[in-house]
Structure 1
Amino acid sequence: MIGNERHSLPGVIGGDLLRHAKIPLLLLVAVLISAVLVVTTAHKTRLLTAQREQLVLERDALDIEWRNLILEENALGDHSRVERTATEKLQMQHVDPAQENIVVQQ
């Protein structure tokens, strides 16, 4: 009656693998796990690289803005420019400190 037994093919293959091919089966599982980890790591690396590039572009834009602000500050803080603006637009005159005392005392 042993010859009339019916076995399923997946069951026979699984049984043979567990009995005779434990090391190759473990190696297959290890290869599959490492392949998934490599793909995951590559994906995360690409995301981080894209994020880094975006941050570098943002830093460059902020650096340009900072330089422009420094130039603007220097231009606005220039004493000769302020003095010229005061005399031309506001018709102000330079006051001598010695003459100022005379005016205040009167």
Structure 2
Amino acid sequence: MSKTDKSSSTNFNLLLILISDLTRNKLRVLLYLMVIVSAFAVILSTHSNRQQIIALEQQMQEKDALDVQWRNLVLEQRALTEHNRIEALVEKHLNMRRPTVDEEVVVRF
């Protein structure tokens, strides 16, 4: 036998020994597989958790931006509905003015 044939038969014998050991210790092999499956489950759940945290942080940033925009709109609304501003616009565009005391008419029922 040549050296290659010898190493190939040795590898084959080693493979047979490994398979026979695995079949004798089925519980141990099952436990090893369960540990590996559990490790992959932890990896997947951690990855999913991180993705959800990233999405949550993006939603929180968007919420903060919308809150700032809403506050600015409320301030703008208050500025636009001030009585002095409305009065000035009415006087300028509609030529309306506040009646004087002599022009006021009180109607009583």
TM-score (structure 1 length as normaliser): 0.75
How many Å apart are 1:84 and its aligned residue? 2.4
1:18 aligns with 2:26: no
Aligned match for 1:35, one of 35, 39, 48: 39
3-state DSSP class of the match of 2:96? coil
**Matched pairs, number:** 93
Q: Distance in 2 between matches of 1:57 and 1:24?
A: 49
Q: Distance in 2 between matches of 1:39 and 1:49?
A: 15
Aligned match for 1:70, one of 68, 74, 98: 74
Percent of aligned pairs sharing the same letter = 36
1:9 aligns with 2:14: yes
Q: Distance in 1 between matches of 2:65 and 2:39?
A: 39
Is the deviation greater in 71-80 or in 7-16? 7-16
Where in structure 1 are there 5+ consecutive unaligned residues? 1-5, 99-106
The corresponding residue for 1:47 is 51
Where in structure 2 are there 5+ consecutive unaligned residues? 1-8
